[in-house]
Structure 1
Amino acid sequence: MEMFSGTMRFLLILFFSCLFCHGKATDCGGKSVAQTIVVDQQGKAAFTTVQAAIDSVKSNNDQWVKIHIKPGLYIERVTIPYEKPCIILEGESSSTTTISYSDHPSINNNATFTSSSSNVVASGITFKNSYNLANTIYEPKDVGSEPIEPATAARIYGDKSFFYNCSFVGYQDTLFDAYGRHYYKDCYIEGEIDFIFGSAQSYYEVNYTNNCLMDVVGRDPNLPGFVTAQGRSSSDDAGGFVFEGGSIRGNGKVNLGRAWRAYSRVIFHQTYFDSIITPEGWVAWNASDNASTTTYAEIDCKGPGADSSKRVPWTKKLSYSEMNDFSFTSFINKDGWFDNLPTIS
Structure 2
Amino acid sequence: MLAVMSTIKLVVMSTVTLDIMSSAKDCGGNNVAQTIIVGKDRHSAFSTIQAAIDSVRSNNDQWVKIHIKAGFYIESVVIPINKPCIILEGEGTPKTIISHSDHQSINNHATLLSFPDNVLASGITFKNSYNVATTKYKSYDEGSKIEPANAARLFGDKYFFHNCSFVGYQDTLYDHSGRHVFKDCYIQGYSDFIYGNGRSYYTVNLPGFVTANGRESADDPSGFVFEGGSIVGNCKVNLGRAWKPYARVVFKNTYFSDIVTPQGWVAWSASGNESRTTYAEIDCKGPGANTAKRVPWMKKLSSSDLNNFSFASFINSDGWVDNLHTLS
Query: TM-score scaled by structure 1?
Result: 0.86
Shift of 1:105: 2.7
Task: Provide the secondary structure at the position in 2 that maps to 1:197.
Answer: strand
Identify the residue that residue 243 of structure 2 maps to in structure 1. 260
What is the deviation of 1:27?
1.6
Task: State the shift of 1:140 in Å.
Answer: 5.8
Counterpart code for 1:31: N
Per-residue deviation at 1:321?
Answer: 2.0
Specify which of 289, 314, 317 is matched with residue 334 of structure 1. Answer: 317
Report the alpha carbon displacement of residue 257 of structure 1 after superposing the two structures with TM.
0.2
Rounded Cα–Cα distance in structure 2 between residues aligned with 1:186 and 1:171: 20
Which amino acid counterpart does residue 191 of structure 1 have in structure 2? G
> What's the counterpart of residue 307 of structure 1?
290
Which secondary structure state, in structure 2, belongs to the residue aligned with residue 250 of structure 1? coil
Question: Hey, what does 2:269 align to over in structure 1?
Answer: 286
Q: Does 1:52 align with 2:51?
A: yes
Amino acid at match of 2:177: Y
Task: Give the corresponding residue for 2:217.
Answer: 234
Aligned to 2:233: 250
Match of 1:78 in 2: 77
* Larger-Rg structure: 1
Greater CA deviation, 170-179 or 106-115? Answer: 106-115
Q: State the Cα distance separating 1:92 from its structure 2 match.
A: 0.9
- How far 1:141 moved relative to its partner? 4.5
Pair 1:295-2:294 in alignment: no
- For residues 291 and 139 of structure 2, what CA distance do their matches in structure 1 show? 41
Question: How far did residue 320 of structure 1 move?
Answer: 2.0
Offset of residue 106 of structure 1: 2.8
1:253 partner letter: K
1:6 corresponding residue in structure 2: none
Deviation by residue 1:238-297 (Cα, 9 ceiling, x = unmatched) = 100000100000001100000000111000000000000011000010111301101000
Letter aligned with residue 178 of structure 2: G
Name the amino acid aligned to 1:284.
A
Structure 2 unaligned regions, length at least 5: 1-18
- The AA in structure 2 aligned to 1:190 is Q
Change (3 A) 1:148 1:139: farther
- Relative to structure 1, is the Cα distance of residues 289 and 110 closer, same or farther in structure 2, using a 3 angstrom cutoff? farther
Q: Which amino acid aligns with 1:70?
A: K
RMSD: 1.5
Asked if 2 retains the 8 angstrom alpha-carbon contact of 1:107 and 1:173, the reply is: no
Q: Which has the higher helix share?
A: 1
| Distance in 1 separating the partners of 2:92 and 2:157 | 24
SS of the aligned residue for 2:232 comes to strand
Shift of 1:107: 2.6
Q: For residues 143-292 of structure 1, what are the structure 2 equivalents within 5 Å? A: 146-206=144-204, 213-214=205-206, 216=207, 225-292=208-275
C-alpha distance in structure 1 between counterparts of 2:139 and 2:293, whole Å: 42
1:84, 1:124 → 2: CA distance? 21
Q: How many angstroms apart in 2 are the aligned matches of 1:140 and 1:75?
A: 10
Once the 2 structures are TM-superposed, how far is the Cα of residue 44 of structure 1 from its aligned partner? 1.9
Distance 2:274 2:249 in 1: 13
Q: How far off its partner does 1:146 sit?
A: 1.2
| Deviant stretches of 4+, over 3 Å | 139-142
Q: Aligned pair count?
A: 307
Whether the 8 Å contact between 1:243 and 1:268 is mirrored in structure 2 is yes
Structure 1 runs not aligned, ≥5 long = 1-18, 207-212, 217-224
The percentage of counterpart residues that share the same residue type is: 67
Q: Normalized against structure 2, the TM-score is what?
A: 0.91
The equivalent residue for 1:139 is: 139
Distance 1:176 1:277 in 2: 22
